[in-house]
Each structure stands twice: as C-alpha cells, then as structure tokens.
Amino acid sequence: MDDMISRAAAIEYLMTNIGWHDEDGYPVDDSDEKRAIITDLVNGIPAVDAVPVVRCENCRHRGSNAICVKLWVGTKDSFFCAFGERRDGK
C-alpha cells in the first residue's frame, strides 16, 4: 500500500538523520548543499494520484433527510464512502 507523506517533513527528517557524502564520496558539511541534494531527491519521487475524500455533508448523493440515495441508509455528516461526489462539482 502506498503512503501519502509530506515532502517538507521528509526533507527535514532526512536532514537530521542522514550523514551525506557527495557523488565523489567526500563528506558534505555544508547544510545548504545537503538540503539541495535531499530536496532534489525527494522532489524526484512521483506524487500519489489520490482521490479526495468527500464527506456525506458535502456529497451530492445525500438527500435533505440525511439519507444516501446511493446506499439508502442514513448518514452522519462526517461519514464518507467510495461513491462520494462533491455537490459543487469540485
């Protein structure tokens, strides 16, 4: 399973937990150079193609009486499912 992570958090984690050497094997003491190397590596990782979660309170399938017209069950505002589609189309 793929995990969604924050690129900024990954960069900070790597900055504090890796002892870096450049491509020639020399230690990298310059933290700006370390940050540039780490940032390039992390930014090279493909982004996940995530589908945003649509909560029932914003779903077009939820009727005015809090009944889902796809599942025909009552829903709470914070519930969500695979059929969720935003009312406003965003």
Same domain, 57 and 30: no
Q: Per residue in 3-20, pLDDT tens?
A: 778 889 888 888 877 777
Quote the pLDDT of residue 89: 67
Same domain, 34 and 63: no
Same domain, 62 and 33: no
| Other C-beta atoms lying within 10 Å of the C-beta of residue 74 | 13
| pTM for the model | 0.47
Quote the pLDDT of residue 40: 92
Same domain, 39 and 12: yes
pLDDT band at 58 (very low <50, low <70, confident <90, very high): very high
Residue 1 within any structural domain of the chain: no
How many domains is the chain partitioned into structurally?
2
Looking at every residue in the chain, the average pLDDT score rounds to 83
Same domain, 37 and 66: no
Same domain, 57 and 89: yes
Alpha helices in 18-80 (DSSP H): 31-43
Range of the domain at 27: 7-43
Cα distance between residue 73 and residue 89, in whole Å: 23
